[in-house]
């Protein structure tokens, strides 16, 4: 089954983890033997060949670089100009993948339709993986003119905040609203028709942003606070508002967001019994709130700073997302529901947003 994954940090893995994503996952793991600089070394799950094997033919791929102001304990760049330069370097990697024929940028209805037609016919081994460019955390946007430049480069979705305090909004584990700078950013986003990604917005910024912004809204990778209590997750009240705004919410596979009482460094997927069924628990919760299957998709965040040590035990690589249709069918979801979740919901969202 064709799959759309609404959140993958591909360029971050290539440029900061120094992973050659044109290799197989096994080759990348072997190349990291003995490395200890990142907790997920030798445990990665994503590469371009593996995406093709799993028919993940389209993804939302990120640029990400935090500007860490004085007093912010989170790692990041010391100026917005440095953060901008980092995202431009990541963009250069996507361009290099395009030149190799490994990827192709999708930025309007025509390129989306052409890409879906390409993947609907013949073998997929040599087909480029489509990517929709997204910015996770807006700290690298120095001025509104930089956002206009990013749009010209193909940026089509933007999450104003990531973890902690931000320039334009406050993110996970922070508090506070979007302020005048955030409103200015959202105004330009609306003029350019850039999708607002509500993921990572703290509650204060979430409510302000959704009241102010009148353009298309989605949540690329967020789970349910009712099932795992943390401010990173959405409450039922927030989920209902997203449903009212015709948003699609992508489900991530980071263990601590999927199952209660996960202890980093101690818990393992095996001893916690973590499986793709827990992803379906979060999907099902949103479907029950909505009364249908029209607002859920995949936003796995695989290799977003974690690997096999912190994702479902029944998933070895991203190709194992092909297990999901069977899991969903076992939970009573119809073929139409399954198609909605695996790709159709996000595709319809994009077709409507890009009209």
Each residue's pLDDT tens digit, 198-232: 999 999 999 999 999 999 999 999 999 999 999 99
Q: How far apart are CA 274 and CA 232, in angstroms?
A: 19
Q: Do residues 172 and 164 make contact, with C-beta atoms less than 8 angstroms apart?
A: yes
Average pLDDT rounded to a whole number, residues 48-57: 98
**Superfamily for the 3-133+142-149+216-345 domain:** Metal-dependent hydrolases (3.20.20.140)
Each residue's pLDDT tens digit, 72-88: 899 999 999 999 999 99
Residue 250 CA, distance from chain mean position = 7
Greater confidence (265 vs 41) lies with 41
Nearest to 7 by CA among 197, 199, 257, 220: 220
| φ, ψ dihedrals at 290, nearest 5° | -80, -25
Query: Is pLDDT at 122 greater than 90 in this prediction?
Result: no
Question: In this structure, what token pair is assigned to residue 328?
Answer: 């969903």
Strands (E), the chain: 3-8, 56-63, 103-105, 129-136, 155-159, 195-197, 217-218, 249-251, 296-298
Q: Which stretches of 167-322 are DSSP H helices?
A: 179-192, 203-212, 236-244, 255-258, 269-272, 276-290
How high is the pLDDT of residue 71? Answer: 85
Other beta carbons within 10 angstroms of residue 261's beta carbon come to: 8
Q: Do residues 93 and 15 make contact, with C-beta atoms less than 8 angstroms apart?
A: yes
Q: How far apart are CA 208 and CA 165, in angstroms?
A: 15
Other beta carbons within 10 angstroms of residue 92's beta carbon come to: 12
Each residue's pLDDT tens digit, 229-247: 999 999 999 999 999 999 9
Average pLDDT rounded to a whole number, residues 31-39: 96
Percent of the chain with pLDDT over 70: 100
How high is the pLDDT of residue 70? Answer: 86
pLDDT class of 284 with cuts at 50, 70, 90: very high
User: What Cα–Cα distance (Å) separates residue 53 from each residue in 6, 16, 97, 292, 319?
Assistant: 18, 25, 18, 30, 6
Tokens 């015709």 label which residue?
Answer: 246
User: What Cα–Cα distance (Å) separates residue 312 from each residue in 10, 17, 136, 233?
Assistant: 20, 22, 24, 18
According to DSSP, the residues that pair with 218 across neighbouring strands are 197
Predicted TM-score of the model (pTM): 0.98
Q: Which contacts of 24-32 are long-range, i.e. CB under 8 A and separated by 24 or more positions?
A: 24/49, 24/50, 25/49, 25/50, 25/317
According to DSSP, the residues that pair with 59 across neighbouring strands are 5, 131
85 CB contacts (<8 Å, ≥6 apart)?
none
| SS3 (DSSP) at 22 | coil
Query: Is pLDDT at 294 greater than 90 in this prediction?
Result: yes
How high is the pLDDT of residue 306? Answer: 97
Q: How far apart are CA 255 and CA 116, in angstroms?
A: 31
Average pLDDT rounded to a whole number, residues 255-280: 97
Burial profile 50-61: b = 16 or more Cβ within 10 angstroms, e = fewer: bbbbbbbbbbbb
Query: Is pLDDT at 258 greater than 90 in this prediction?
Result: yes
Tokens 């940028």 label which residue?
Answer: 105
Nearest to 51 by CA among 127, 155, 112: 127
């Amino acid at each position: 089954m064709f799959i759309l994954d609404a959140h993958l940090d591909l360029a971050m893995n290539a440029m900061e983890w120094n992973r050659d994503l044109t290799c197989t996952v096994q080759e990348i793991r072997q190349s990291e033997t003995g490395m200890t600089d990142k907790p997920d070394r030798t445990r990665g799950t994503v590469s371009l060949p593996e995406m093709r094997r799993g028919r993940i033919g389209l993804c939302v791929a990120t640029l990400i670089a935090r500007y860490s102001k004085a007093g912010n304990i989170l790692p990041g760049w010391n100026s917005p100009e440095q953060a901008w330069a980092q995202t431009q370097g990541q963009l250069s990697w996507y361009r290099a993948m395009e030149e190799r024929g490994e990827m192709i940028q999708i930025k309007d209805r025509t390129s989306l339709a052409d890409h879906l037609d390409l993947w609907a016919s013949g073998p997929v081994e040599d087909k480029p993986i489509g990517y929709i460019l997204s910015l996770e955390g807006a700290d690298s946007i120095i001025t509104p003119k930089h956002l206009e430049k990013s749009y010209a480069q193909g940026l089509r979705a933007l999450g104003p905040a990531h973890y902690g305090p931000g320039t334009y909004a406050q993110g996970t584990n922070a508090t506070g609203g979007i302020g005048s700078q955030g409103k200015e950013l959202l105004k330009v986003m609306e003029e350019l028709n850039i999708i607002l990604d509500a993921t990572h917005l703290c509650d204060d910024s979430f409510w302000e942003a959704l009241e102010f912004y009148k353009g298309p809204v989605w949540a690329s990778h967020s789970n349910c606070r009712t099932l795992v209590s943390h401010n990173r997750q959405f409450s039922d009240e927030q989920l209902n508002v997203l449903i009212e705004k015709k948003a699609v919410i992508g489900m991530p596979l980071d263990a601590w967001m999927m199952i209660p009482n996960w202890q980093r460094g101690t818990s393992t997927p095996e001893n916690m019994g973590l499986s793709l069924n827990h992803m379906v628990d979060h999907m099902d919760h949103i479907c029950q709130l909505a009364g249908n299957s029209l607002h859920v998709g995949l936003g796995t965040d695989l290799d977003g700073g974690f690997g096999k040590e912190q994702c479902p035990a029944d998933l070895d690589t991203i190709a194992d997302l092909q297990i999901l249709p069977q899991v969903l069918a076992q939970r009573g979801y119809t073929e139409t529901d399954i198609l909605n979740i695996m790709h159709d919901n996000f595709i319809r969202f994009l077709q409507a947003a890009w009209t």
